[in-house]
Amino acid sequence: MSLRSPLSRVLGSGSAKDGTEHWWMQRVTAVALLIIGLWFLVSIASLADYDRAELYRWAGHPFHAVMLILASITLAWHSTLGVQVIVEDYVHGPLLKVSALLLNKFLHVFLAAAAVLAVLKIALGDSL
């Protein structure tokens, strides 16, 4: 006896087998953002002054630049996953859903690239 509905047997449709990976990636990126966020708070709090020159020196340090790039990429990835779930759950028209999912991906890739470029520009100075 099968627990599948007659329609699913005819269509051959079933689980896309993608939900578990998506769920795990949301949790992994959330934990990574907690760790990076703690580093960011402690690191910023340890600065003596918060003027522009001091922040540029701080962000230009190689370790801080790498951590800021990791934060940007991880934040964009985590946000993409979260917005994807919202679109899949609440957008019902197939064309609108596909358009929203594509826009979600492109916008987050663009924002991550812009953040990485900004950090590299600060870290490498005028050579970029």
Q: Which domains does the chain have, with CATH numbers?
A: 21-127 (1.20.1300.10)
Q: What is the pLDDT of residue 115?
A: 98
| Residue labelled with tokens 């990429």 | 73
Query: What is the C-alpha to C-alpha distance for residues 26 and 77, in angstroms, rounded to an integer?
Result: 9
The helix (run of H) or strand (run of E) holding residue 82 is: helix 62-90
Q: What is the pLDDT of residue 3?
A: 72
Per-residue pLDDT of 17-53, as tens digits, reads 667 899 999 999 999 999 999 999 999 999 988 899 9
Q: What is the pLDDT of residue 99?
A: 96
At a CB cut-off of 8 Å and minimum separation 6, what does 45 contact? none
* pTM higher than the cut 0.85: no
Burial class (CB in 10 A: 0-12, 13-18, 19+), 76: buried
Query: What is the C-alpha to C-alpha distance for residues 81 and 71, in angstroms, rounded to an integer?
Result: 15
Q: What is the pLDDT along the chain (128 residues), one digit of tens a residue?
A: 667 777 666 665 556 666 789 999 999 999 999 999 999 999 999 998 889 999 999 999 999 999 999 999 999 999 999 999 999 999 999 999 999 999 999 999 999 999 999 999 999 986 76
